[in-house]
Structure 1
Amino acid sequence: MPMPLTIRPISTKAERKTFVDFPFRLYKDDPNWVPPLKGEALGLITPAKNGWYSHAKAQLFLAEEEGRPEGKKVVGRISAHVDTLALTMPAVQGFGPGVGQWGLMEAEREDVFAALIAAAESWLKTQGMSRALGPISQSIWEEPGLLTQGFDHPPTIMMGHARPEYQGWIERAGYAEVKQLYTYDLDITQEFPPIVKRIIRSGEANPRIRVREVDKRRFDEEAAIILGILNDAWSDNWGFVPLTPPEIKDVGVKLKPIVFNDLIRIAELDGKPVAFMITLPDLNEAIKPLNGSLLPFGWAKLLLWLRAPKVRTMRVPLMGVVKELQSSRLASQLAFMMIEYIRQASIERYAASRGEIGWILEDNQGMRSIAETIQSRVNKTYVIYGKDL
């Protein structure tokens, strides 16, 4: 019989640590869960360490069972949040006025989840919200969506994992599917189909086109170029919220150690940057054995890995082509060229054999077509749900 349940808001450093620790117990027997580095997970929910909080606010909740001889036991958690930038976006793109979010949800049982989601919804109402989307943990640029397909293998860097039963719990709480997000799996040891090769050769013969590596020595300058293309290319996408300078600074600090010149490409047309592709070695392969801690020797193992990473999987989290070229033959040509050059580098220099592309919105037919043309397949599906409050 369940013990009396309490849902309480939290704010202290010790409480945030408890919030971070809970999934380690919940998923301890799940071979496909990747324990995050606890310092990184704490930084995500600490306003002073996450630039997202410069335009957003969040309330964390813990679910605790009382009445046990050993004291209170944490049995769930959730975050409710309001992003003031998301409130200014067009409603047709998913966010907009009155739309709040929840995420970072984990629970032992459905009754615990129901109590947590009710607390999150109640807090969102006090903030003037009339609709909730979730799970989004916490920014759309972090880990959006609930895993609903692909539980049989671990997620790659910056993608989430979940318990299969969560889908039913969310839907029985009155939430309906709003958007599906896909990741695509690709055997990069296989050469691309002849038609793709011909498109690449045609691009290489075009003197107007140049595809170059980034220069990590000019990190800030290169990041600004990529951000400019990103904000243009993605601005009409569902769920788009522009990255702010504090967020860009934080992302740069986190990702710079796994940025390698030959894995990030910028395509230029007549000398003007018009497209980019970011590829990251799957850091999850390195951190999974560390069980969330860099002590006592985890930091040394990770440092050695970062110096010359050898990985099975490369992940492509972001790719973009400026809007004026989208839906053109040139857009796909530039994409195929960048993919091929990074594919070759991934095999030759990092011993990779697998690629993962995404996430990709279900209605992003351009990117889905590119993924399917190079013979990749959907390996994971994530769903974002919505409910009027």
Structure 2
Amino acid sequence: MTVPPAISNDLKVFPVRTAKQLDLFIRLPRLLYSKYSGYVPPLDFEEKALLHPKKSAFFRYGSAQYFLAYKNNEPVGRISAQIDPNALRQWKEPIGLFGALDAIDDAEVVQQLISTAITWLKKHGMEKIRGPYTLNANSQAGAMVEGQNEPPMIAMPWHPQYLVKHIEAAGLFKAMDLVSYQMIMSKEIRQAHKIPSGLKVGSSRLGNITTRKLNMKEISRDGEILRQLYNDAWDDTWGFVPLTPTEMSILIRDLKLMLTPDNYVLVEQNKMPVAVALMIPNIFDLSEEVGPSPSIIGWGKLGYKALRHQFKSARVILLGISHSIRDTAMGALIPSLVIDELFNRGEALSYNMIELGWILESNKAMRNLIERLAPKPCKTHRVFEAQLDCKD
């Protein structure tokens, strides 16, 4: 991939160096997208936890540089360029990442932002670029292709439709699509996924199979079980990067206020963990009323509703089935049992909808199972990549 031609004189891209610039970098999507239907700004504290070098788990092991684009002295875009040592070890290629890409509807702005990220990555020895990942593959992934007017969901990025075509115009190519599905909590969906009576957990053929909930007193232990099963389950799939113990501990810490025992499904065979899923409540259900920067009263309302678990939707962010049973008859049954248990938990928590995703478009087995309940994806996000011309 070659660097694009010279840019307009009034377009400039600068590295983020000061606290004021960092604050603008974090808040910029809200300024750029406020006029677009479907865009709902996330809470500022969520974005700071994701992007602020003193708060984000990524900076405990990775390195990144943020950039802001200005046109006629107005901020018009942002991007991050980052290197994830865990991804380098897993992928065994010098692949650098970009993320936090947001911009006005201007191909030149997006092109120059990506060009700037490429220059930084090449200086650090990278030979390929992949993204957007904010800031790694286990966080917000992909540029939104479809689903802009679907309900907003926790930790799922939102982009206007024009962004994908501008990324392609900048010379990047589709690497993989990530799809998400909405499981509506209804009698019709329940009937479509009815488990035969002979396949109930704890009876007949499944007599040695049990499920349990999250132990709030041992939440760190259960988080570690989740991490190990997730890493084991997805180790050989495209784009996978293992979750680190630090990432899991921070995830559990940040979610603890919102989680109940029902948000965690652990399947055990002969008392050994073989499958797990984590379903996190959708903070947008509570934050739309108070906005991205709540007042003290707003924070009080938010905290009160969170403690009373007044959520109407949730997202399954982690789901894994142990390699030890994957190619067995039991391994073929377990995904259906997990989906059934998620439905049970969703009903108990009074959710109206559970979003399942993201899922690799190439994961046909999981997609076929889910499409019995939700025939079409509700959202699609795209990961791009390109080989870098290291002779430039």
TM-score normalised by structure 2 residue count? 0.91
Hey, which bits of structure 1, 4+ residues long, moved more than 6 A?
Answer: none
> Share of identical aligned residues, percent?
27
Query: Does the alignment pair 1:102 with 2:102?
Result: no
For 1:147 and 1:200, locate their aligned partners in 2 and report how far apart those are by CA, in whole Å: 42
1:3/1:309 CA distance change after superposition, 3 Å: farther
1:63 pairs with 57, 65, 69, which one? 69
Give the counterpart letter for 2:276 in structure 1: F
TM-score normalised by structure 1 residue count? 0.92
> How far off its partner does 1:81 sit?
0.6
> How far off its partner does 1:346 sit?
2.0
2:26 pairs with 20, 37, 58, which one? 20
1:84/1:144 CA distance change after superposition, 3 Å: same
Residues 43-78 of structure 1 show CA distances to partners (whole Å, capped at 9, x for unaligned) of: 322222122112211000001124xxxxx3111111
Point out where structure 2 has 5 or more consecutive residues left out of the alignment: 1-7
- 8 Å contact from structure 1 (residues 310, 352) kept in 2: no
> How far off its partner does 1:270 sit?
0.8
> How far off its partner does 1:193 sit?
4.1
Query: Does the alignment pair 1:172 with 2:173?
Result: no
With 372-381 and 357-366 compared, the bigger mean Cα shift is at: 372-381
Residues 285-331 of structure 1 show CA distances to partners (whole Å, capped at 9, x for unaligned) of: 21233321132322111111111223332211111100121243323
> How far off its partner does 1:194 sit?
6.3
- 8 Å contact from structure 1 (residues 187, 376) kept in 2: no
For 2:218 and 2:308, locate their aligned partners in 1 and report how far apart those are by CA, in whole Å: 21
Tell me how many residue pairs correspond in the alignment: 377
Point out where structure 1 has 5 or more consecutive residues left out of the alignment: 67-71, 91-95
Give the counterpart letter for 2:371 in structure 1: E
For 1:371 and 1:87, locate their aligned partners in 2 and report how far apart those are by CA, in whole Å: 32
SS of residue in 1 equivalent to 2:149: coil
Query: Does the alignment pair 1:118 with 2:86?
Result: no
Query: Does the alignment pair 1:358 with 2:357?
Result: yes
- 8 Å contact from structure 2 (residues 192, 372) kept in 1: no
> How far off its partner does 1:199 sit?
6.7
> How far off its partner does 1:247 sit?
1.7
Residues 157-208 of structure 1 show CA distances to partners (whole Å, capped at 9, x for unaligned) of: 1111101001110111111111011101122213434674217744441221
For 1:157 and 1:188, locate their aligned partners in 2 and report how far apart those are by CA, in whole Å: 18
SS of residue in 1 equivalent to 2:151: coil
Q: Name the structure 2 match of 1:380.
A: 379
1:50 pairs with 43, 53, 56, which one? 56
For 2:76 and 2:109, locate their aligned partners in 1 and report how far apart those are by CA, in whole Å: 7
For 2:51 and 2:217, locate their aligned partners in 1 and report how far apart those are by CA, in whole Å: 31
RMSD of aligned residue pairs (Cα, Å): 1.9
SS of residue in 1 equivalent to 2:223: helix
SS of residue in 2 equivalent to 1:78: strand
Give the counterpart letter for 2:11 in structure 1: L
1:332/1:29 CA distance change after superposition, 3 Å: farther
SS of residue in 1 equivalent to 2:155: coil
> How far off its partner does 1:351 sit?
2.4
> How far off its partner does 1:147 sit?
0.8
